[in-house]
Chain A
Amino acid sequence: MSSPAERQTLLRAEGLSKAFGGIRAVDGLNLSVAAGELRCLIGPNGAGKSTLFSLLAGIHEPDAGRILFKGEDITYLSPFRRVRKGICLKFQTTRIYRGLTVGENLIIARGKRAGSGANGRLEWALGALGLAGESARPAGELSHSHQQWLEICLALATEPELLLLDEPTAGMTPEETALTADFVIKLSGQGVTILVVEHDMAFVRHIARGVTVLHYGRVFADGTLEEIEANHEVRRIYLGEQ
């Protein structure tokens, strides 16, 4: 039985480590994410952000440590079973089915939920991100930002409780970044727990309630956006100040 405190914690990573060859990408990392939280993960290149996401999504198995989702140990659960439990990842580089139409992409993503009428959030997301009228369009012909948004919609079609967004605004214009930020805030308002890895500090400032800074595969700092921006050491390692 999980304690009341654990019931409020959606995701917990304990002592998570992963090395590739001699490089320790994630090194004894501890992280706790509460249900409904919107949190940004930031850090310099090589800090272990994307590796952490791949461990949480099950793409890689950790060398040590464990991952608890809703109190259940999912450390060695296969990726597709994690998706079914409610964790979905938007990859760092856009991964949609470029040879299929937008509608066909969604047929795959909806799975057996197709036609059930239960996925109202997806319909809302498609409308909010300008994809509602694009069903017949080949996904490979969409603009870069629309491809990114389509991938977010594919993830939402799995009805996740925890959405992992790895650099969702990479390559977007400031206007598109702002639209994405507004969308993420509204999505969070609907109760979806969201972890975002992002380099664009304007985006982070726009959306973040909580920020976790990773450095050398560990949590370097954790707090509100104001606390993180006021942290001299964070400013030195990440924001480049002397």
Chain B
Amino acid sequence: MRERLGIFSRLGGPQDLGRGPAFWVAFGIVALGLLVFPLFGSPFYLSNLAVFFIYVPMGLGLGLLWGYGGILSFGQAAFFGISGYVYGVVVQNLSQTPGASLLAVAAAISATVIVAALFGYFVFYGQVSAWIIPLLTLVLSLILETFMAQTAGYQWRVGHVLLGGYNGMTGIPSIQAGPLEFGGASVALYLLTVVGMLLAYLGLRLLVNSHYGYVVVGVRDDVERTRMLGYNVARMQVTVFALAAGLAGLSGVLYVSWGNYINPASMGLYAATVPVIWTAVGGRSSLVAVALSTVALKWLADALAVRGGEYAFLIMGALLLATMLFFPAGIVVALNRLWRRARRLPS
């Protein structure tokens, strides 16, 4: 009856869709294809794909937090923005220091995790009702957006770096490691986003199939039951919240490295809502579903924006409503169920 929780059995564990040799062969082919794509793809495609992949860690973080931990949050955008701004401030202030951008990456993600842990501490140790948390996290994002939007002017600077108000911070240097610069349309950034996405996915897959992951699911399913098995539920929730924020922070620094700018809109209503749409439409109970829908919907939103920006949000909202009505578990998860039913496999 003792369960094996070794690394390989964990990777193939039941807490995600896609198990067995067929899935892992397909996963390997896709991963390899993405890694060798720069040999064939133009810089334009590399840059476009990179910006889709940049958002995957943020989406996966919400998948972990909401789908596995049961905590719906609109705060991923806030943490994405905090990370981007902190990176911008640190990297520009340390511009004469060797390895400044790597220090800035570490500072940005650390600051994001600390802010999230503090916010989470008050929310979860204060036993705030589950239905209030989405509102609080939305307010966090909107307050940060509003605050940063009014930071125009010379008086709003950190060190010698201006925060930039509504226009945001521009001219932020990309991440640099030795001779490699991870900028906009570079192969290096593309590969970094692919590796970041794959590591985030595999790392979370290991996590959700670990003992810790099962307890996270236990907290989602029955807080009181889990507490009565000896777990400090509030601490578990704070750590999951901070981990999800850290993944949003990773997306934030990759985004700034790609575009060399960050502005308050990255924490606005649209930015706060789309991760929830990615997660819900794909299926929040599956990491692979969230990763697929994040890339697909980011592509869709960009395609819609090109053809008429003002309708993009409406169509994304309609997609969310349709998913909630017809595929409440998410489209990818529902398709997987249908496929398994057709092949008469256990769900």
Residues in A lying within 8 Å of B, measured CB to CB: 57, 59, 78-80, 83-84, 88-89, 91, 95-101, 103-104, 106-109, 111-112, 114-115, 123, 126, 132, 135, 154-155, 157-158
**Which of B5, B215, B225 is the one whose CB lies under 8 Å from A96?**
B225
The answer to whether B225 touches A158, judged by C-beta atoms less than 8 angstroms apart, is no
What's the minimum C-beta distance from B146 to chain A, rounded to whole angstroms?
A: 37
- Inter-chain CA distance A95–B221, complex, in Å, is 10
- For residues 211 through 233 of chain B, which have their beta carbon under 8 Å from a beta carbon of chain A? 211, 214-215, 217-218, 221-222, 224-233
Task: List chain A residues, Cβ under 8 A from B307.
Answer: none
Task: List chain B residues, Cβ under 8 A from A115.
Answer: 2, 5
- Inter-chain CA distance A154–B226, complex, in Å, is 10
What's the minimum C-beta distance from B155 to chain A, rounded to whole angstroms?
A: 46
Task: List chain B residues, Cβ under 8 A from A154.
Answer: 225, 229
Which are the 6 A-B pairs with shortest beta-carbon distances?
A83-B230, A95-B225, A108-B218, A97-B221, A107-B214, A79-B227
Task: List chain A residues, Cβ under 8 A from B230.
Answer: 80, 83-84, 88, 111, 158
The answer to whether B231 touches A132, judged by C-beta atoms less than 8 angstroms apart, is no
- Inter-chain CA distance A1–B214, complex, in Å, is 41
**Residue interface bits B106-143, CB-to-A below 8 A is 1, else 0:** 00000000000000000000000000000000000000
**Which of B1, B14, B228 is the one whose CB lies under 8 Å from A126?**
B1
Task: List chain A residues, Cβ under 8 A from B218.
Answer: 97, 100, 108
- Inter-chain CA distance A59–B228, complex, in Å, is 9
Q: What are 18 A-B interface contacts by the 8 Å CB criterion?
A: A59-B224, A59-B228, A78-B227, A80-B227, A80-B232, A100-B221, A103-B1, A106-B1, A107-B214, A108-B229, A109-B229, A111-B229, A111-B231, A112-B211, A114-B5, A132-B1, A154-B229, A155-B228
The answer to whether A57 touches B1, judged by C-beta atoms less than 8 angstroms apart, is no
The answer to whether A114 touches B3, judged by C-beta atoms less than 8 angstroms apart, is yes
Task: List chain B residues, Cβ under 8 A from A109.
Answer: 229
The answer to whether A100 touches B211, judged by C-beta atoms less than 8 angstroms apart, is no
The tally of residues in B whose CB lies under 8 Å from a CB in A reads 22
Given A97-B225, A111-B230, 13 more contacts at CB 8 Å? A59-B228, A83-B228, A91-B228, A95-B222, A97-B217, A97-B218, A97-B221, A100-B214, A106-B3, A108-B214, A111-B211, A114-B2, A115-B5
**Which of A83, A91, A114, A123 is the one whose CB lies under 8 Å from B211?**
A114
Task: List chain A residues, Cβ under 8 A from B226.
Answer: 108
The answer to whether A107 touches B228, judged by C-beta atoms less than 8 angstroms apart, is no
What's the minimum C-beta distance from B208 to chain A, rounded to whole angstroms?
A: 12
Task: List chain B residues, Cβ under 8 A from A59.
Answer: 224, 228
**Residue interface bits B222-249, CB-to-A below 8 A is 1, else 0:** 1011111111110000000000000000
- Inter-chain CA distance A103–B1, complex, in Å, is 7
- Inter-chain CA distance A78–B218, complex, in Å, is 18
Task: List chain B residues, Cβ under 8 A from A99.
Answer: 217, 221
Task: List chain B residues, Cβ under 8 A from A83.
Answer: 227-230
- Inter-chain CA distance A96–B222, complex, in Å, is 8
- Inter-chain CA distance A80–B215, complex, in Å, is 14
What's the minimum C-beta distance from A144 to chain B, rounded to whole angstroms?
A: 17
- For residues 1 through 43 of chain B, which have their beta carbon under 8 Å from a beta carbon of chain A? 1-3, 5, 14
The answer to whether A89 touches B214, judged by C-beta atoms less than 8 angstroms apart, is no
Of A78, A84, A97, A126, chain B has the most CB atoms within 10 Å of the CB of A97
What's the minimum C-beta distance from A195 to chain B, rounded to whole angstroms?
A: 15
Task: List chain B residues, Cβ under 8 A from A78.
Answer: 227, 232
Task: List chain A residues, Cβ under 8 A from B217.
Answer: 97, 99-100
The answer to whether B1 touches A158, judged by C-beta atoms less than 8 angstroms apart, is no
Nearest chain A residue, comparing its CB with the CB of B210: A107
The answer to whether A108 touches B215, judged by C-beta atoms less than 8 angstroms apart, is yes
**Which of B14, B215, B225 is the one whose CB lies under 8 Å from A91?**
B225
- Inter-chain CA distance A221–B265, complex, in Å, is 69
Task: List chain B residues, Cβ under 8 A from A84.
Answer: 230
Task: List chain B residues, Cβ under 8 A from A96.
Answer: 225
- Inter-chain CA distance A106–B2, complex, in Å, is 9
Task: List chain B residues, Cβ under 8 A from A80.
Answer: 227-233
- For residues 239 through 278 of chain B, which have their beta carbon under 8 Å from a beta carbon of chain A? none
The answer to whether B228 touches A123, judged by C-beta atoms less than 8 angstroms apart, is no
- For residues 173 through 232 of chain B, which have their beta carbon under 8 Å from a beta carbon of chain A? 211, 214-215, 217-218, 221-222, 224-232
Nearest chain A residue, comparing its CB with the CB of B285: A99
Task: List chain A residues, Cβ under 8 A from B214.
Answer: 100, 104, 107-108
Task: List chain B residues, Cβ under 8 A from A106.
Answer: 1, 3
Task: List chain A residues, Cβ under 8 A from B3.
Answer: 103-104, 106-107, 114, 135
Nearest chain A residue, comparing its CB with the CB of B15: A104
What's the minimum C-beta distance from A6 to chain B, rounded to whole angstroms?
A: 25
The answer to whether B221 touches A158, judged by C-beta atoms less than 8 angstroms apart, is no
Task: List chain A residues, Cβ under 8 A from B14.
Answer: 101, 104
What's the minimum C-beta distance from B328 to chain A, rounded to whole angstroms?
A: 15
**Which of B2, B5, B222, B233 is the one whose CB lies under 8 Å from A97?**
B222
**Which of A89, A97, A112 is the one whose CB lies under 8 Å from B228?**
A89
